[in-house]
Amino acid sequence: MTTPKALVAGNWKMNGLKSAATEIMRLNDLVKEGGARCDILICPAFTLISTLCDINSEYVAIGAQDCHMNMNGAHTGDISAEMIKDLGCGHIIVGHSERRADHGEMNETVNAKASAAQSVGLKAIICVGETIEERKAGRALNVVTSQVKASIPSGAVVENTIIAYEPVWAIGSGLTPTATDVEEVHNAVRDVLLERFSDHGTQINILYGGSVKASNALELMSVNNVNGALVGGASLKADDFYGIISAYNEIG
């Protein structure tokens, strides 16, 4: 079975003003010069999506970090998947652990948001991951596979589904699981996808996220069943982010 083309995605979280557009231009130039053997995506705050889409980068796609589960209506302050699509995005991150923690989003909500994204033709990047307590209790595999099963919408297809495994304790902490631990979880996620989508499940990208940086990207991205990265802090500066992207130039 062939593996899917890798995706290296940046999650800018609540960072960046209009001036951050220069980072997309710089990233575009770095890829133009040095090449990239992976797809590249940046998910900025809602306020920047339009500005960054307007740059029309040949190499860098723009996505969103969240959406509402409904398409319109009385939901003050919220943004729908259709609005995001309207700006020119192709991806929406859903269920990031910061949304799960800060906004109490449970699998059911994540599932509904992923479904909203997919219903308008966008790809949902569904985030899952265990806390440190769950890992220490030996429950990491159980927690992650349950989240994957419960968060993928019933109408999902291979083409509009991406999973991001992000151990909560590895996000922004500088800590990463060992390559062996990453492989164990990614293999378990793959098994869930094979069960759900039969052989087509091999074609779904399973991203690893949590303290990915240029210095550890090659090791992490070389792990079996790791098909790309979801990057927070190290995606804010084009040069740092390109350091991760270029790991794929070595992997081939």
> Residue numbers of the site for ligand PGA (CB under 6 A)?
11, 166, 171-172, 209-212, 230-234
Tell me how far, at minimum, the Cβ of 172 lies from ligand PGA, in Å: 4
Tell me how far, at minimum, the Cβ of 185 lies from ligand PGA, in Å: 15
**Spatial CB neighbours of 137, under 8 Å, sequence gap ≥ 6:** none
Residue 82 or 124 having the CB closest to ligand PGA: 124
Residue 82 or 114 having the CB closest to ligand PGA: 114
Residue closest to ligand PGA when measured from CB atoms = 232
Distance of CA 59 to the CA centre of its chain: 17
CA–CA separation, 152 and 118 (whole Å): 10
Residue 226 or 230 having the CB closest to ligand PGA: 230
DSSP state, residue 252: -
Tell me how far, at minimum, the Cβ of 75 lies from ligand PGA, in Å: 25
Cβ(128)–Cβ(110) below 8 Å: no
Tell me how far, at minimum, the Cβ of 226 lies from ligand PGA, in Å: 14
Give the C-alpha distances (Å, rounded to integers) separating 248 from 127, 139, 171, 237, 245.
22, 31, 22, 18, 6
Residue 82 or 206 having the CB closest to ligand PGA: 206
CA–CA separation, 54 and 147 (whole Å): 35
CB atoms within 10 A of CB 40: 24
- By C-alpha distance, which of 164, 244, 163, 231 is closest to 15? 231
Backbone phi, psi, residue 36, to 5°:
-155, 130
Identify the burial level of 18 via C-beta atoms within 10 angstroms of its C-beta, where 0-12 means exposed, 13-18 middle and 19 or more buried. Answer: exposed
Question: Does 103 qualify as catalytic in the annotation?
Answer: no
Tell me how far, at minimum, the Cβ of 233 lies from ligand PGA, in Å: 4
From the list 23, 68, 91, 96, the catalytic residue is: 96
Question: Does 33 qualify as catalytic in the annotation?
Answer: no
Query: What is the amino acid identity at position 189?
Result: V
CA–CA separation, 126 and 94 (whole Å): 5
Residue 63 or 232 having the CB closest to ligand PGA: 232
From the list 82, 98, 105, 166, the catalytic residue is: 166
Residues tagged active-site: 96, 166
